[in-house]
Amino acid sequence: MNNEIFEKYKKEMLEMYEKAKKNNGYIPTQAPPEANTEALPQNSMPTPTPPSQSTQTGGLLGIVTSFRGLYPVENARVTVFTGDMDNMQVIDSDLTDRSGRTKVFSLLAPDKNLSMSPDLAETPYSLYNMMVEADGFLKNIHLNIPVFSGITSIQRSDMILAEERIDKTPQIFDESQKYNL
Per-residue model confidence as pLDDT tens for the chain (181 residues) = 456 665 666 666 666 656 655 555 544 433 334 433 344 444 444 444 455 556 799 999 999 999 888 899 999 999 999 987 778 899 999 999 999 999 999 999 998 887 777 666 677 889 999 999 999 999 999 999 999 999 999 999 999 999 888 888 899 999 887 655 5
Instruction: Provide the residue count of the chain.
Output: 181
| Residue from 76, 79, 80 nearest 108 by CA | 80
Q: Which amino acid is at 85?
A: M
pLDDT at position 13, please? 62
SS (H, E, C) 130-160: EEEECCCECCEEEEEEEECCCCEEEEEEEEC
Task: Tell me which DSSP letter residue 60 carries.
Answer: E
Q: Which amino acid is at 107?
A: L
pLDDT at position 142, please? 95
| Residue from 105, 96, 97 nearest 60 by CA | 105
pLDDT at position 112, please? 82
pLDDT at position 7, please? 64
pLDDT at position 27, please? 44
* Model confidence pTM above 0.75: no
**CATH architecture of the domain with residue range 58-174:** Sandwich (2.60)
Contacts of 148 (CB under 8 A, 6+ apart): 58, 109, 112, 115, 124, 125
